[in-house]
Chain A
Amino acid sequence: MTVKDRYSRQTMFSAIGDKGQRNIQKKKVLIIGAGALGTANAELLTRAGVGHLTIVDRDYVEWSNLQRQQLYLERDAHDQIPKAIAIKKHLTAINHDVSIVACIKDVNASNLEVMAEGHDLMIDATDNFETRWIINDVSQKLSIPWIYGACVGSFGMSFTVIPGKTPCMNCLWKAIPFQSMTCETGGIIAPVVQMVTAHQSAEAMKILVEDWAALRKTFVTFDLWNNQFQSIDMTKAKREDCLSCGKERTYPFLDYTSGMKTMVLCGRDTVQVRPPKPVDLNINHLLSQLKKAGYKAQANPYLVHIHYEKERMVLFKDGRALIHGTNDMAYAKRVYQKILG
């Protein structure tokens, strides 16, 4: 067996074949989020030989991730490596032919459009609805399909949005759900991640080989512990007056205002603070300044971990910070400004 054979079992599968494989190797996929769904989808697409992967994530590896976020190692959690950096390293070791761009970044209304340009598909692996609504609008605006996936507890769901063909997320739920279950509040078991990923990556492969007729078309939802399964026909969900995909669309979720942004990360007792424009911090310089000022701080090339009174703050090179131990946005902003001025 040689390297030439690496895709043989996939090309023997008649719906892919040599032609499908050539297509897969030409395609570019954007994966938003490098947590449980992000690592699992990225690994499958990398093994399948996708041409290019862009992966964006705003977080770093923690011990509580290792139970379900495949690819990450104890070393990554110990060293608090940003997920984007760790995932790229592990994926490259699996298949060096795949071109991989990994960004440590918070996806928002002002940057996703530029990031998504030129990709053939977006895979949703985020943990919040705000980002999904932005993905949904960018998908419609640039006419790039995206695959929604989410899970909590033993419950998972997935839906493939094809602009111009299927309903979009905004048709389905009409507004960003106010209260939704997250892994931090409802826990999660690893098999449900694998099941959602299986649905997402199978749909992804159909899109990459351009077998449009094979797409599932239904909204699939299941509970692996309680043995429930539904595959829902969504034809009727498409709304002509939808502001994201209808006739008079405005892409309401791409409307953003600049300024310092703070947001509570749902269920995590953490506030994210983002400067108006990304900056490029000198980590070593900052670390020595902080130590001089009496803070407890550690750093790796991508972030500084600072202890401030009862709170912990993780500051990334682009100026974005996660302030752990609080849900108070005003307080988080004060902590941030006290440290960064």
Chain B
Amino acid sequence: MIQVLLFAHLREQVGCENLTIHKKQMTVKEFKELMEKQYKLSTQEVMIAINEEYATDSDVIAEGDTVALIPPVSGG
């Protein structure tokens, strides 16, 4: 089980704050593709962190990990 945390407007786009993915393992790239396909989420500009560590496309997400999706915000 992979736990997914959604921040800011991504929550509204998906319709909930947390998601659970029933997979043993997947790359960040595969994860992004899944988000785009299943939830119509544009992930191109979203920062991905696995267990509070910055992740790149080739990093692997494993069972038990928490993945956070952080969109860029410009207000100030």
Mark A residues whose CB is within 8 Å of B.
33, 35-38, 124-129, 132, 149-153, 155-157, 172-173, 175, 177-184, 186, 188, 196, 218-219, 221, 223, 226, 228, 230-237, 266
Contact = CB atoms under 8 A, between A and B. Distances in A.
Contacts of A156: 73
6 contacts: A125-B76, A132-B74, A152-B8, A152-B74, A157-B70, A236-B54
A179 B45 contact: yes
Interface in B46-76: 47, 49, 52-56, 68, 70-76
Contacts of A153: 8-9
A232 B66 CA distance: 12
B49 to A, nearest CB: 5
Given A219-B54, A234-B54, A181 B47 contact: no
A182 B74 contact: yes
B17 interface: yes
Interface residues of B, number: 23
Contacts of A232: 47, 49, 52-54, 68, 70
B76 A236 contact: no
A196 B76 CA distance: 9
A180 B74 contact: yes
A221 B68 CA distance: 10
Contact of A180 (B7, B55, B68, B72): B72
B5 interface: yes
A203 to B, nearest CB: 15
B75 A152 contact: yes
Nearest to B53: A233
A207 B49 CA distance: 26
Nearest to A239: B56
A124 B11 CA distance: 26
A234 B72 CA distance: 15
Contact of A35 (B47, B49, B56, B76): B76
Return the 3 tightest CB-CB contacts between A and B, nearest first. A177-B72, A183-B75, A152-B75
A233 B53 CA distance: 5
B66 to A, nearest CB: 9
Contacts of A221: 7, 68, 70
Given A127-B76, A157-B70, A173-B72, A181 B53 contact: no
B73 A157 contact: yes
